[in-house]
């Protein structure tokens, strides 16, 4: 998603997608950086690249081809292609996109704003996306397949080791407790893909601790165990590169090449691990559209650091909205709560802005 010029980027600002749900087009929220307001628009699933006609059109409606066992070969052949990048030439340019969408959202009608300015949120794509499936699947393997005790006993043992890891390194903002319902269904653990519940920061900080636990229990002679070890190392390594270069506006060329190489290795390996367990009859390491969108989020880091566009500020705002929602529930019908909440928020925000203007 290249920019036409640096001045164009500085003039127009940057847009960030808070949530992206591919397949069929979904309602999205776009945020301007610095964040000022939210607007809604419709974005088709061909938003970032033009898929070849035979890629997904043959799939029935409402069927996710990323999860369909019969189309697993598409993961490496059409969806990722991280090593060969055969689909990179199919990325939209601003001119081609306007021709295909003659009536775009009003934001894209302003001078200097182009489709190249849309950024995939790193937090929702990785921490709340691929990481949540990856870490939950690793925990599921440890708890249900690798350790000898009962699932509850195994999880208590793992959690004690992870807590010791956090305490030794003075890491805060982590999970305060760990239980089976946090990542799987207790009564039917293999009927759906496991996924971590919790805040984005909690899932992000789980990676390094889980890697240390996996290194303690994994079988070095097993190929699939070694691949899972690499997946965890790649996942932690991506966040480490971003953290080590947090002061720059965009990743330097040499660091960016290392960053993209790590990301592409992660994507291809993740798909291969998923295919191994699907063929073995286990629903683990779910492959979703966010796996492909992660490539776009990483690719944009050569233009602007993902820390400048991710949506962690919106997650923090939930702490302030929660008590307001609880207050609106009293004496109101359920279908009136949202309107009442928006009205209170608008009045309070207006009062705050007027008070600041007075000083």
Verify that 211 and 271 share a domain, yes or no. yes
Query: Which residues have CB under 8 Å from 290's CB, separation 6+?
Result: 20, 124, 125, 126, 129, 130
Verify that 295 and 320 share a domain, yes or no. no
With cut-offs at 50, 70 and 90, classify the pLDDT of residue 133.
Answer: very high
Verify that 241 and 296 share a domain, yes or no. yes
DSSP 119-145: EE-HIIIIIIIIHHHHHHHHHHHIIII
Number of separate domains in the chain: 3
β pairing state of 118-120 and 14-17: parallel
> Looking at residue 92, what is its pLDDT?
72
Of the ranges 67-71, 229-233, 348-352, which one carries the lowest mean pLDDT score?
A: 67-71
174 CB-side CA count, 13 A: 20
> Looking at residue 87, what is its pLDDT?
60
pLDDT at 130 over 60: yes
Of the ranges 19-23, 71-75, 115-119, which one carries the lowest mean pLDDT score?
A: 19-23
Verify that 271 and 224 share a domain, yes or no. yes
Verify that 138 and 196 share a domain, yes or no. yes
Query: Which residues have CB under 8 Å from 183's CB, separation 6+?
Result: 135, 136, 139, 140, 194, 195, 196, 197
In whole numbers, what is the pLDDT of the chain averaged over residues? 76
Tell me the pTM.
0.70
With cut-offs at 50, 70 and 90, classify the pLDDT of residue 359.
Answer: low
* pLDDT mean over 94-104: 79
Question: Is 1 domain-assigned?
Answer: no
Domain that holds residue 63: 6-120
Q: Identify the three-state secondary structure at position 356.
A: helix
Measured from the Cβ of residue 59, the count of other Cβ atoms closer than 10 Å reads 16
Measured from the Cβ of residue 272, the count of other Cβ atoms closer than 10 Å reads 15
pLDDT at 84 over 60: no
Q: How far is CA 238 from the centre of its chain?
A: 13
> Looking at residue 66, what is its pLDDT?
34
Are the CB atoms for 107 and 113 separated by under 8 Å?
A: yes
Verify that 255 and 329 share a domain, yes or no. no
Verify that 199 and 304 share a domain, yes or no. yes
Over the stretch 115-124, which tens digit does the pLDDT of each residue have? Answer: 777 788 899 9
> Looking at residue 267, what is its pLDDT?
92
Verify that 129 and 89 share a domain, yes or no. no
Are the CB atoms for 198 and 225 separated by under 8 Å?
A: no
Phi, psi torsion values for 262, nearest 5 degrees: -65, -40
Measured between alpha carbons, how far is 215 from 226 in angstroms, rounded to an integer? 10
What does the H/E/C string look like for 220-239? CCCHHHHHHHHHHHHHHHHH
Measured between alpha carbons, how far is 239 from 346 in angstroms, rounded to an integer? 36
């Amino acid at each position: 998603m290249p920019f036409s010029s640096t001045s164009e980027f500085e003039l127009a600002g940057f847009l960030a997608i808070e949530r992206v749900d591919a397949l069929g087009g979904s309602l999205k929220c776009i945020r301007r950086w610095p964040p000022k307001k939210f607007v809604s628009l419709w974005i088709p699933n061909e938003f970032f690249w033009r898929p070849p006609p035979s890629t997904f059109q043959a799939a029935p409606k409402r069927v996710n081809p990323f999860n369909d066992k019969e189309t697993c070969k598409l993961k490496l052949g059409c969806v990722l292609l991280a090593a060969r990048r055969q689909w990179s030439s199919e990325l939209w340019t601003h001119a081609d996109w306007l021709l295909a969408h003659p009536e775009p959202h009003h934001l894209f009608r302003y001078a200097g704003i182009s489709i190249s300015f849309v950024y995939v949120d790193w937090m929702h794509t990785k921490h709340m996306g691929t990481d949540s499936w990856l870490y939950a699947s690793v925990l599921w393997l440890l708890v249900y397949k690798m350790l000898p005790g009962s699932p509850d006993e195994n999880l208590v043992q793992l959690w004690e080791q992870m807590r010791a890891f956090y305490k030794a390194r003075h890491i805060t903002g982590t999970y305060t407790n760990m239980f089976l319902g946090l990542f799987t269904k207790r009564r039917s653990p293999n009927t759906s893909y496991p996924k971590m519940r919790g805040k984005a920061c909690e899932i992000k900080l789980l990676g390094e601790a889980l890697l240390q636990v996996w290194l303690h229990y994994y079988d070095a002679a097993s190929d699939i165990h070694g691949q899972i070890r690499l997946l965890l190392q790649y996942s932690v390594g991506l966040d480490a590169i971003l953290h080590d270069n947090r002061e720059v506006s965009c990743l330097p060329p040499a660091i960016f090449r290392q960053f993209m190489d790590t990301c592409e290795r992660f994507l291809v390996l993740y798909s291969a691990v998923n295919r191994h367990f699907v063929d073995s009859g286990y629903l683990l390491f779910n492959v979703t559209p966010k796996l492909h969108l992660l490539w776009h989020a990483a690719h944009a880091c050569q233009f602007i650091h993902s820390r400048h566009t991710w949506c962690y500020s919106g997650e923090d705002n939930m702490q302030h909205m929660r008590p307001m929602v609880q207050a609106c529930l009293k004496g109101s019908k359920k279908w009136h709560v949202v309107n009442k909440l928006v009205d209170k928020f608008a009045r309070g925000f207006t009062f705050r802005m007027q008070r600041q203007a007075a000083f």
